[in-house]
Amino acid sequence: MVTIQNPWFTVQRIDSTTYAISEYGHWEKVHSFLLLGKEKAALIDTGLGIDNIKRITDQLTDLPIVVITTHVHADHIGSHGEYETILVHEAEEDWLVSGIKGLTIDQIRKEMCRDITGQTPVGFDPEKYTPYTGNPTGLLRDGDLIDLGDRLLSIFHTPGHSPGHICVLDNDREYLFTGDLFYLDTPIYAFFPTTDPVELLDSLERISYLEVGRIFGAHNTLGIDPSVLLEVQEAVYELRRKDVVRHGTGLHEFKSFSVRF
């Protein structure tokens, strides 16, 4: 991969028309992904909002950009307000418009602004950080197709981490973008009030049977070998067998990943 860095974002080229835009200076190590087609581009999530990701996408493409939201948590919608076309799953439309009920701005700021090791942009004030809210341009449903012109994306509704969480399959390159459903290095979290452990496991099982060439989670390790999906299948079976698929059963560790209920 060719790597280009600026003070906050790290841009990594996955292939000639696919880029990861990462925020390694924050404890969540968030990745957003820019996919270029012939007619338009897709930006899967817009990052933390600590810095403006549009400064980066403007340098990578002149194509019109469609923002595809994996889910409406603050670390994935930070620069949504910079783009004209925003898509979100219908189950989280209200979250995007009004915010997540019961999640205070103080809680969001605490999580967003702790353990920052990178150089934040001039003008960033953690005490004034406010997550994006606004109306989406369109709503996503399971099975939707998004055509970028010579590049077709499939939408998979994969609830559990949140009610309207989605994964995106790039059919032409066999890349699977898993958002917060699956990643490595830190636990896959399903213990928040808005999570559903049963749905999370069902969603993990669903993606585990997909034939893909590469997996890209929204945090930590960039690029995961799809052979891990066999381990996901085995983990799903084990968690069900042990009858621990519910809130409060704690951390469950496997060879390559872990899940916290």
Give Rg (Cα) of the chain.
17
Sign of CA dihedral 62, 66, 70, 71: positive
CATH 3.60.15.10 fits 2-181+214-221, yes or no: yes
Q: Please give the pLDDT value at position 5.
A: 60
User: Which tokens go with 202?
Assistant: 């069902």
Q: Please give the pLDDT value at position 82.
A: 97
Q: What is the pTM of this model?
A: 0.95
**Backbone phi, psi, residue 39, to 5°:** -105, -30
Alpha-carbon span 75 to 49, nearest angstrom: 7
Q: Please give the pLDDT value at position 159.
A: 97
- Encode the chain (261 residues) as per-residue pLDDT tens digits: 444 567 899 999 999 999 999 999 999 999 999 999 999 999 999 999 999 999 999 999 999 999 999 999 999 999 999 999 999 999 999 999 999 988 888 888 988 888 888 888 888 888 889 999 999 999 999 999 999 999 999 999 999 999 999 999 999 999 999 999 999 999 999 877 789 999 999 999 999 999 999 999 999 999 999 999 999 999 999 999 999 999 999 999 999 999 999
Using CA atoms, how far residue 3 sits from 12, 21, 33, 39, 102, in Å, is: 5, 10, 14, 25, 39
Alpha-carbon span 223 to 175, nearest angstrom: 9
**Backbone phi, psi, residue 230, to 5°:** -65, -40
Q: Please give the pLDDT value at position 104.
A: 87
